[in-house]
Amino acid sequence: MRYYIIAGEASGDLHGSNLIKELHLQDERADVRCWGGDKMEAAGAVLVKHYRKLAFMGFVEVIKHLPAILKNISFCKQDILQYMPDCLVLIDYPGFNLRIAEWARQQNIKVIYYISPQVWAWKEKRVIKIKRDVDKMLVILPFEEEFYEKWNYSVTYVGHPLTDVVAAEQLIPARPIAKRPVIALLPGSRAQEIKAKLPVMLQMIKHFPAYEFVIAQASSLPESLYTGLMQGAQVTMVKGDTYNLLKQATAALVTSGTATLETALFGVPEVVCYRGNPISYWLAKKLVSIKYISLVNLIMDAPVIKELIQGELTETNLKAELELLLHDNTCRQRLKASYASLWRMLGERPASRLAAREIINALC
């Protein structure tokens, strides 16, 4: 079978790579072409375009880069037609992928969506288009089945792929990266979010001299981006080694997104740090209908981890929250219990294997 897979972010590259490995295991004639990243290419796919050329975050940023986005959509359509896949597999990245899904339906190409867009957070009426354009939806969050049920749309819950990934990684001994206790800094995978959040994170170094601060550098971004923000700060950087970092971190400062869930699954106490373009954030507040921005809190439907958002992300507030994580044993025990509940809620399903099976069965 011929599979065309589109992922537009680092997390999609990770989950797409594991899906590709499973497709090759379950379909010995699998041929995969993709938009994604290094991991998907390493898993055996032909990489058409890297996600670092696609990842625009926020309303203002999307408008600013609209010509490039429209050019990418046009090129993608042409490339799909030339490849003529048996199915199109879309991984999250809704602004781009839902447009491609609508077009693919008109071309009679089977569309399977793996990792649902967060339509439960905003633009809920997009479900109408999803029902029309997507032949099969595979969801990874336990509450998404019930959400889609409200719209009379049957979806398949395969479990969260991160539980597989983290469980396997925890079997591998950590490779030491520092002589002192470690505080991990995960400022994101996009240049614009790193510029907004990393400087505030770095202000913590002077307050906690007993700890080694280590930045998880995004593989797709140059080291110069980080060094330009450090201004002489004594900090270590690791590239492509985030999981090894989390295995030995005492605490972590994490931007919103998949990284918040990864950090929790590794059992690391964390503070979520978010600051975006003021106009984009104002628009989001008007449109988004969720109580939390971190996946951990959304899944648990409770403020398990502290979220410092926009104006709340200050040196004073971040220092206070980090002190709690490092020195308040009650706080750490509460987090440990919540993280255990999170594991139970997500379950132990082999998500990538089940997703590949569902995709192959849909083509039979």
- pLDDT confidence of residue 70: 82
Task: Look up the pTM and report it.
Answer: 0.83
Where the chain has pLDDT below 50, the residues are 59, 286
At residue 18, the pLDDT reads 96
* Cβ atoms within 10 Å of 182's Cβ, excluding its own: 23
Handedness of CA 26, 29, 35, 39 (dihedral sign): positive
Query: pLDDT at position 76, please?
Result: 96
What's the pLDDT tens digit per position in 252-274?
999 978 899 999 999 999 999 98
Quote the pLDDT of residue 240: 86
- Residues 143-169 pLDDT 10s: 999 999 999 999 999 999 999 899 999
Q: What local confidence, expressed as pLDDT, does residue 364 receive? A: 84
In the numeric block, which tokens belong to residue 328?
């308040």
C-alpha radius of gyration, the chain, whole number:
20
Residue 10's pLDDT is 83
HEC per residue, the chain: CEEEEEECCHHHHHHHHHHHHHHHHHCCCCEEEEEECHHHHHCCCEEEEEHHHCCCCCHHHHHHCHHHHHHHHHHHHHHHHHHCCCEEEEECCHHHHHHHHHHHHHCCCEEEEECCCCCCCCCCCHHHHHHHHCCEEEECCCCHHHHHHHCCCCCEECCCHHHHHHHHHCCCCCCCCCCCCEEEEECCCCHHHHHHHHHHHHCCHHHCCCCEEEEEECCCCCHHHHHHHHCCCCCEEEECCHHHHHHCEEEEEEECCHHHHHHHHCCCCEEEEECCCHHHHHHHHHHCCCCCCCHHHHHHCCCCCEEEEHHHCCHHHHHHHHHHHHHCHHHHHHHHHHHHHHHHHHCCCCHHHHHHHHHHHHHC
Domains within the chain, CATH numbers bracketed? 2-159+349-363 (3.40.50.2000), 168-346 (3.40.50.2000)
Task: Please classify residue 74 by burial: count the beta carbons closer than 10 Å to its beta carbon, then call 0-12 exposed, 13-18 middle and 19+ buried.
Answer: exposed
CB-count burial class (<10 Å; 0-12, 13-18, 19+) for 115: buried
What is the residue type of 148? Y
Q: Residue 55's pLDDT is what?
A: 55
pLDDT attached to residue 239: 92
pLDDT at 281: 54
